[in-house]
Structure 1
Amino acid sequence: MEWKIEQQHEGMLLRDYLRQVQGFSRRILKTIKFDGGLILVNGIEQSVRYALATGDKVKIELPIEKRGNLMVPENIPLSIVYEDNDIIVIDKPPGIAVIPSYHYPEGTIANGLLAHYEKHHSTYTVHIVTRLDKDTSGLMLVAKHRYSHSILSALQQAGEVNRKYQAIVEGSLSKPSGTIDAPIGRKADSIIEREIRSDGKRAITHYHVERDLELYSFINVQLETGRTHQIRVHFSGIGHPLCGDTLYGGSLNIIQRQALHCYSLSLPHPMTKQILHFSAKLPMDMVTALQKL
């Protein structure tokens, strides 16, 4: 990463320029300093107390990141929608976990990404920005390095990373559009399940009914917050669980997994600030489920 200092930043300390102008966190600057990265000005290593001059060329070399024990490359097919040096957008199929865990130690999106990176002689690790549940399909955003991840996390908290979903829920909703504003927290007797509870974190979900099918509804959903299982919990909480979502009361009558798909993703690029828009078609199992109704 390189920048040429403009006159308006003349005299700034390098530390302040990197934090205030380029969005580096204290944590990342500390990592660069102590874990093998480099901060160069005009090709010479400098401390963050260096006073910048107009025309200076600042270059940052991030340290190579360590990978966890389960982060092993595997040749898993990936549907890559977009890729550059800073981010990658994937259209995830249902039925595949995003990162390795005790229950899914291999065969995940992360394992496939590592193999993809190695194939292109890259040393990146995996930084998930918008994670999807194992049985949710659609677009997901991944940062290639900790700097872009830091910027994207801040953008996400500011509501600038926008996702839209399509879902099939049970029953006919009473209103053609609406907002569910109900706090979500972990269910007391479960490490996986969430529920609507007064001491939970605020969660806001907007929806619009695309097709009212009497016994079912095909809906468009947009998240204002990003709590774990938010869409699933909210619609179950109002008596309209997602079809196929047995964890939250849905039946397997028309589909064998929760009928939830992230079809739209938009965000400012972490480096260029250009607004990027991506879309993904409804997967065949949800298309087939709708044809049955």
Structure 2
Amino acid sequence: MKFEWKNQQDEPIKIRTFLGQHGVSRALIIVAKYHGGAILLDGRPAYTSALMTKGQVATLELPSEKSSEVVTRCDDPIDILYEDDDYLVLNKPAGVASVPAHHVERADSLVNRVKGYYERQQYENQVTHIATRLDKNTSGIVVFPKHHFAHSVLDKQLKEHRVQKDYIAVVEGRLDVKHGLIDAPIARDSESFVKRQVDPNGKPSQTEYWLEDNLSGASIVRIRLHTGRTHQIRVHFAYLHHPLVGDDMYGGPMWLNRQALHCSHIKFFSPFKQKFIQIDCTVPDDLAKIVN
């Protein structure tokens, strides 16, 4: 894979600094230098410490990414919401894990399905990078960067909280607050390997929400995450005494055979397309029936 940028700056600049301004991490530079790629200045090999002047072109060449033999291929279908050369965005159904679990006999996670899709498409890069994950029983948007560089720049945006992710949830009880922010730290429950809880010694966690509608005994909320802790939405609404419908782990009423949570919207910036990518994903039938 090849990426090129023309220097428009008046002052000389080191190649590595210039590449860094375009989202190229140190790890990617190492891959290019020592693992089958190249760094070029005006088409010729160059040291990253070399200076480039206005009008010169820096090129980053990255080797093809070979598939991992550890990941099993699965040819079950995927629901593609968006795809370009850099990102594959899927609608994950409830009941399918985002990543494979070691204790499951048949590998049928979204990662396994994407591996099957990449092999059928005969893509140059065969590594199944996954940037966003959802719990097995949560539905909605999951993003797969299609190469190391795309994963690196999106991961940086996620860490800097520059990716907008919205969810739709149905919670127990009547919410009277139209707009709220749950600011409560989350830690692992000492009595469970899986379960989390609000804990003053936990990691900072913020969940913003808007009341969309009140139902009979439940409320529809739109949610935006400002941090990305495990089970964050489920823990925070249980903390408010409004657990998610279908969430038996956190005390929700079992009106559904999975937690009523759906990732409905994502917005992130693609430096490759030089634009924001926005994707919406409609609520699936099982949640729509509860809403109706």
Same fold (TM over 0.5): yes
Question: Which stretch shifts more, 82-91 or 70-79?
Answer: 70-79
Q: Distance in 1 between matches of 2:176 and 2:130?
A: 36
Aligned to 2:150: 148
For residue 9 of structure 1, report the CA deviation from its aligned partner: 6.0
* CA–CA distance in structure 2, aligned partners of residues 74 and 250 of structure 1: 33
**Is the CA contact (8 Å cut-off) linking 2:130 and 2:143 kept in structure 1?**
yes
Q: Distance in 2 between matches of 1:230 and 1:273?
A: 31
Deviations 1:219-277 (A, max 9, x none): 1111111111110000011111111111111132x210000001111111132331221
- Give the letter for the 1:264 counterpart: H
Aligned residue pairs total: 289
- Tell me how far 1:68 sits from its aligned partner: 4.3
Distance 1:9 1:159, change over 3 A: farther
Structure 1 partner of 2:108: 107
Alignment partner, residue 245 of structure 2: 243
- Distance in 2 between residues matched to 1:55 and 1:103, nearest whole Å: 55
Q: Which contiguous aligned blocks of 4+ residues in structure 1 show a shift greater than 4 angstroms?
A: 66-69
Q: Which runs of 5+ in 1 are unaligned?
A: none
Q: Report the Cα offset of residue 6 of structure 1.
A: 2.8
Instruction: Check if 1:164 corresponds to 2:166.
Output: yes
Amino acid across the alignment from 2:48: V
What secondary structure does 1:152 align onto? helix
Structure 1 residues 267, 164: closer, same or farther in 2, change over 3 A?
A: same
Instruction: Provide the C-alpha distance between the structure 1 equivalents of 2:198 and 2:133, rounded to a whole number of angstroms.
Output: 21
- Please give the alpha-carbon distance, in whole angstroms, between the structure 2 residues aligned to 1:87 and 1:11: 33
Gaps of 5+ in 2: none
Q: Is the CA contact 2:140–2:264 (under 8 Å) kept in the aligned structure 1?
A: yes
Distance 2:287 2:141 in 1: 15
> What is the match of residue 180 of structure 1?
182
Partner residue, 1:189: 191
TM-score by length of 2: 0.92
- Residue of structure 2 in register with 1:46 after alignment: 46
Distance apart, 1:197 and its partner CA: 0.5
**In 2, Cα distance between equivalents of 1:159 and 1:271:** 20
Percent of paired sites with the same residue = 36
SS at match of 2:230: coil
String of CA shifts for 1:26-46, please: whole Å, max 9, x gaps: 122122222222223333322
Counterpart contact for 1:2–1:57, Cα < 8 Å: no
Cα deviation 1:84-111 (Å, max 9, x = unaligned): 1111111111110111122346111111
Normalized against structure 1, the TM-score is what? Answer: 0.92
Per-residue CA deviation, residues 133-157 of structure 1 (Å, 9 max, x unaligned), is 1111111222111211111111122
Deviation of the 1:196 alpha carbon: 0.5
Amino acid corresponding to residue 33 of structure 1 in structure 2: K
**C-alpha distance in 2 between matches for 1:109 and 1:171:** 33
Q: Letter of the 2:116 partner, please give it.
A: A
Q: Distance in 1 between matches of 2:9 and 2:94?
A: 49
1:98 aligns with 2:114: no
